[in-house]
Amino acid sequence: MKGNRYFNTSGPNIPNEHYTLDRLDLVAKGKDLVYKSRYFTIWAPRQTGKSTYFRFLARELEKKLPRGLCFFGKYGFDHQLERTRNINRDKEIL
């Protein structure tokens, strides 16, 4: 079905195959929160683009941050980065 996009109603959204809203304003807000080391959640009913949003956000963050440094939810977590933050925090306390 190459070249003919359609509305996806299940599974991951693939922008080249499915109609997609980029939500650039929301991605920009997410980037700002990540750069400020803030936690945030996205809550919405099923099939509303939450996973697609986090994939877009991760793609944008990887342009500035080293690859593999930023993961979301089921996509993983960088334990080495967390250990480094804890070591640096402990040094500041001493």
Residue in this structure with the two tokens 């939450």, named with its chain if needed: 50
Q: Using CA atoms of 81, 87, 91, 94 in order, give the dihedral in degrees to the nearest 10.
A: 140
Q: Give the global pTM.
A: 0.64
Q: How many CA atoms lie within 13 A of 78 on its CB side?
A: 13
Q: What is the reported pLDDT for 79? A: 46
Residue 68 has pLDDT above 80, yes or no: no
Mean pLDDT of 43-64: 86
Q: Is the pLDDT of residue 13 over 80?
A: yes
